């Protein structure tokens, strides 16, 4: 029996760790699993718990409106020791590249508890893109003992940084396990989306923007492109707005009213998956959506300068277009109205995983010995 502490704080971490928590809890003879949320994205977490039917065992309230990275870091580092004291973990699991991820890994290191890093090895090789995530995940790779890489490419990044090969395992991304879980539950009727969007005659574009690097003029450029796209073609545009006011409220202020533009609050994961499945095009700066889109066979236009997920680009289902309205428009048109002789956008189920990541990670954790 291993005492395992999972620490998470944001929506993408919750979505990607939920199926792993379910997997570990399905084996109580092998694992005592404590789930701790730092509440870094307090408002966005509740719908994830409702969706997967799990609850954190401990909720820390580390989020403050308008918080700085340093004050958030200080609050998390200050709050977590009590959880380590009460749960006495033998292993700590963290996911991805958030401030919570880095703080929990750092604290585990101080306590000499081995860290399992889920979604290890993603890199753009530019420390400021995305900021602070690229640095967070690079530092977590120094701190972790077991590295669960989603793809061969991510594993190669870790090996190039000198991580011993026996500590690096390609498991696929747990986002695909989460996606399969929700698709299954939607299809067999055990899960109802909290919001629905009636089918439309028009082609449907779904857009989300939330990264720090996109704020300011860049967000303005993206919105200009979206306004033109909507004016030029018979489309409907649905935009779930991020609660960070520099993202969501700013996007709302940059998009004028239009009969086929729908701005919504952030959607619960099941509703968002159903919406992605009904979309003709996804336009985003999100990481997770770049993984989900190929699985759903939906083209994705990535409004960023670069991506740590080059697999979708190589497979021809994602294009990274930067922030110039003309490039964004050209990529959207090409994806929405492919030339008659162009190959159909292929469904690329296997790029980011096959849905067995959590099972593989459970086996790895069960047999992991040492520091």
Q: What does the binding site for ligand UDP look like in residue numbers (CB under 6 A)?
A: 11-12, 15, 208, 210, 240, 266-267, 269, 272, 286-289, 292
- 3 pairs with which residues across the strands? 32
Rounded Cα distance between 108 and 300, Å, is 37
Count Cα neighbours of 351 within 13 Å in the Cβ-side half-sphere: 22
Q: Is 260 labeled as catalytic in the residue annotation?
A: no
Q: Is 112 labeled as catalytic in the residue annotation?
A: no
Q: By C-beta, is 15 or 83 nearer to ligand UDP?
A: 15
Q: By C-beta, is 63 or 289 nearer to ligand UDP?
A: 289
Q: By C-beta, is 12 or 172 nearer to ligand UDP?
A: 12
Q: By C-beta, is 219 or 267 nearer to ligand UDP?
A: 267
Neighbours of 61 (CB within 10 A): 11
DSSP string, 206-262: EEE---GGGTTHHHHHHHHHHHHHHHHSSEEEEEEPPSSTTTHHHHHHHS---TTEE
Least distance in angstroms from the C-beta of 44 to ligand UDP: 7
Q: Is 97 labeled as catalytic in the residue annotation?
A: yes
312: enclosing H helix or E strand: helix 310-314
Q: Is 204 labeled as catalytic in the residue annotation?
A: no
Catalytic residue among 50, 167, 169, 212: 212
> Residue 311, class by beta-carbon neighbours within 10 Å (0-12 exposed, 13-18 middle, 19+ buried)?
buried
Name residue, tokens 């989900």.
292
Q: Is 363 labeled as catalytic in the residue annotation?
A: no
Q: By C-beta, is 145 or 285 nearer to ligand UDP?
A: 285
Phi-psi region of 39 (alpha: psi -120 to 50; beta: other; left: phi over 0): left
The sign of the CA dihedral 306, 125, 308, 210 is negative
Alpha helices (H) along 6-115: 11-25, 42-52, 69-87, 99-110
DSSP string, 279-306: -SEEEES-HHHHHHHHHHT--EEE-SS-
Please state the separation of Cα 37 from the chain's center in Å: 16
**Residues 319/312, Cβ–Cβ less than 8 Å:** no
Least distance in angstroms from the C-beta of 240 to ligand UDP: 3
Catalytic residue among 13, 23, 133, 236: 133
Least distance in angstroms from the C-beta of 289 to ligand UDP: 5
Least distance in angstroms from the C-beta of 332 to ligand UDP: 19
- The set of residues, in sequence order, having a beta carbon less than 8 Å from that of 347 and lying 6+ positions away, is 294, 295, 296, 297
Least distance in angstroms from the C-beta of 220 to ligand UDP: 20
Q: By C-beta, is 156 or 264 nearer to ligand UDP?
A: 264
Least distance in angstroms from the C-beta of 333 to ligand UDP: 24
Catalytic residue among 11, 123, 210, 348: 210
Q: Is 234 labeled as catalytic in the residue annotation?
A: no
Q: By C-beta, is 20 or 83 nearer to ligand UDP?
A: 20
Catalytic residue among 34, 123, 137, 242: 242
Catalytic residue among 13, 97, 285, 311: 97
Q: Which residues are catalytic?
A: 97, 119, 133, 210, 212, 242
């Amino acid at each position: 029996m291993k005492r395992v502490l999972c620490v998470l704080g944001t929506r993408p971490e919750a979505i990607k760790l939920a199926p792993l928590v379910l997997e570990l809890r399905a084996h109580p003879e092998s694992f005592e699993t404590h789930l701790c949320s730092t509440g870094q994205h307090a408002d966005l977490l509740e719908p994830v718990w409702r969706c997967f039917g799990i609850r954190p065992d401990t909720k820390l309230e580390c989020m403050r409106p308008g918080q700085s990275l340093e004050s958030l870091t200080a609050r998390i580092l200050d709050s977590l020791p009590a959880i380590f004291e009460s749960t006495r973990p033998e292993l700590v699991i963290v996911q991805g590249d958030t401030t919570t991820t880095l703080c929990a890994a750092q604290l585990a290191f101080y306590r000499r508890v081995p860290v399992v890093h889920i979604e290890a090895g993603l890199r753009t090789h530019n420390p400021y893109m995305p900021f602070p995530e690229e640095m967070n995940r690079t530092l977590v790779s120094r701190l972790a003992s077991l590295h669960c890489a989603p793809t061969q490419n991510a594993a190669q990044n870790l090996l190039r940084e000198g991580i011993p090969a026996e500590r690096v395992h390609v498991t696929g991304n747990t986002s695909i396990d989460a996606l399969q879980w929700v698709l299954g539950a939607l299809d067999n009727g055990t899960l109802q989306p909290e919001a629905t969007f009636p089918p439309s005659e028009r082609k449907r574009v779904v857009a989300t923007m939330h990264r720090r690097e996109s704020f300011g003029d860049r967000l303005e450029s993206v919105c200009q492109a979206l306004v033109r796209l909507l004016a030029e073609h018979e489309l409907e545009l649905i935009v779930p707005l991020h609660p960070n006011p520099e993202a969501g409220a700013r996007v709302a202020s940059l998009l004028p009213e239009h009969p086929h533009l729908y701005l919504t609050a952030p959607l619960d994961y099941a509703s968002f998956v159903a919406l992605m499945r009904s979309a003709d095009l996804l336009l985003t700066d999100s990481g997770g959506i770049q993984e989900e889109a190929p699985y759903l066979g939906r083209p994705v236009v990535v409004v960023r300068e670069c991506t740590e997920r080059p697999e979708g680009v190589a497979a021809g289902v994602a294009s990274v277009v930067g922030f110039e309205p003309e490039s964004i428009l050209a990529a959207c048109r090409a994806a929405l109205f492919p030339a008659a002789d162009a190959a159909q956008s292929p469904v690329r189920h296997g790029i980011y995983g096959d849905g067995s990541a959590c099972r593989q990670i459970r086996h790895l954790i069960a047999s992991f010995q040492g520091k």
